[in-house]
Amino acid sequence: MAEKKQAAVQCIDVRREFQDGSRVIKVLQGTNLTVYRGEFVAVVGASGSGKTTLLNLIGGLDTPTSGTILVDGDDITKLNDDQMSKVRRHKIGVLFQDQHLLPIFTALENVEVPMLLDDVPTEERRARAMKLLETVFVDHRAQHMPHELSGGMRSRVALARALANDPAVLLCDEPTGDLDHKTGGEIIQLMRDLAKNQNRAVIAATHDPETARMADRILLLRDGVLVDEMVGEFFRASKVDVSTKKTSKVVDEETST
């Protein structure tokens, strides 16, 4: 019998408005979304469509104007600050483009930081951090400082750090933004493996068609709602340009000018 799918993230009629002087900017206007453990989902949409806003809300870094967000069963819109920071530490890992490693710590120490906040004993912390670096294939650089690592290696270390407390949900904002094509591809493959092999829900906001094409589902954010849901397999086969959702030639390294 097939295993029952476990919802790791549920957004129910989520709205987020920002006040800009006398003007109200309505970014999310009733977003509904369910992401299951084991799924790798890409959120695409034009710049300013609200991708980062949505990830920030799911990650508990921001609060919706209205609506409900469940993370691994907890309604995070009902938690106080203390409860929220616990959920953030234990259930959610984030890999944001501008989330830098701490420059004065080694790769290994950077991965240890979230566990430090959780009072994990030194030996265990170190061993777990090392194991995580192995998972993302950068353990040979454990003792290096961030500035001694390549961009791809730094992304891997940040990914290991995001996994430090074994989160149900991994949120990635433009995970391949700063990386070259090959390194970006490796990071996406890794993210996909983390969903499949470790049964996490991985959600990536992206402009990158390569990332979207690797996803199980592609969700398009337009005018504040998720207007479509497209199966990655279908996308890969049909070669639809995800940035416009029009059927057109896929632009990739080989064909673009």
Ligand X SMILES: Nc1ncnc2c1ncn2[C@@H]1O[C@H](COP(=O)(O)OP(=O)(O)OP(=O)(O)O)[C@@H](O)[C@H]1O
Q: In the structure encoding, which two tokens stand for residue 35, read together?
A: 């992401």
- Residue 45, binding choice from Mg ion, ligand X, none, Cβ under 5 to 8 Å by partner class: ligand X
Q: Which contiguous run of DSSP H or E holds residue 113?
A: helix 107-116
Based on the shown chain and the rule CB under 5 A, indicate whether residue 206 belongs to the binding site for Mg ion: no
Q: How far is the CB of 83 from ligand X (least distance, A)?
A: 23
User: Helices (DSSP H) in the chain: which residue ranges?
Assistant: 51-58, 81-91, 107-116, 122-135, 151-162, 181-198, 209-214, 232-238
- Residue 48, binding choice from ligand X, Mg ion, none, Cβ under 5 to 8 Å by partner class: ligand X
Q: Amino acid identity, residue 257?
A: T
Q: Between 56 and 110, whose beta carbon lies closer to Mg ion?
A: 56
Q: How far is the CB of 55 from ligand X (least distance, A)?
A: 8
Q: How many residues bind ligand X (CB under 6 A)?
A: 12
* Contacting Mg ion within 30-69 (CB under 5 A): 51-52
* Contacting ligand X within 2-21 (CB under 6 A): 18, 20
Based on the shown chain and the rule CB under 6 A, indicate whether residue 175 belongs to the binding site for ligand X: no
CA dist., res. 101 & res. 106, Å (int): 9
- Residue 102, binding choice from Mg ion, ligand X, none, Cβ under 5 to 8 Å by partner class: none
Beta bridge partners of 217: 41, 231
Q: How many CB atoms lie within 10 A of CB 61?
A: 15
Based on the shown chain and the rule CB under 6 A, indicate whether residue 217 belongs to the binding site for ligand X: no
| Stretch touching ligand X by CB under 6 A, among 50-58, 117-125, 141-149, 187-195 | 50-58
Beta bridge partners of 75: 70
Q: Are 206 and 231 in contact (CB under 8 A)?
A: no
Q: Which contiguous run of DSSP H or E holds residue 115?
A: helix 107-116
Q: Between 47 and 256, whose beta carbon lies closer to ligand X?
A: 47
Q: Are 102 and 110 in contact (CB under 8 A)?
A: yes
Based on the shown chain and the rule CB under 6 A, indicate whether residue 52 belongs to the binding site for ligand X: yes
From the list 10, 31, 49, 110, which residue makes contact with ligand X (rule: CB under 6 A)? 49
Using alpha carbons, list the distances in angstroms from residue 177 to 34, 62, 88, 129, 225.
25, 23, 24, 25, 24
Q: Beta strand pairing status for 217-222 and 92-96?
A: unpaired
- Residue 184, binding choice from Mg ion, ligand X, none, Cβ under 5 to 8 Å by partner class: none
Q: How far is the CB of 169 from Mg ion (least distance, A)?
A: 18
| Burial class of residue 247 in the structure, from the number of CB atoms within 10 Å of its CB (0-12 exposed, 13-18 middle, 19+ buried) | exposed
Q: In the structure encoding, which two tokens stand for residue 155, read together?
A: 């992304």
From the list 13, 24, 25, 83, which residue makes contact with ligand X (rule: CB under 6 A)? 25
| Stretch touching ligand X by CB under 6 A, among 47-55, 152-160, 162-170, 195-203 | 47-55
**Positions in the binding site for ligand X (CB under 6 A):** 18, 20, 25, 27, 45, 47-53
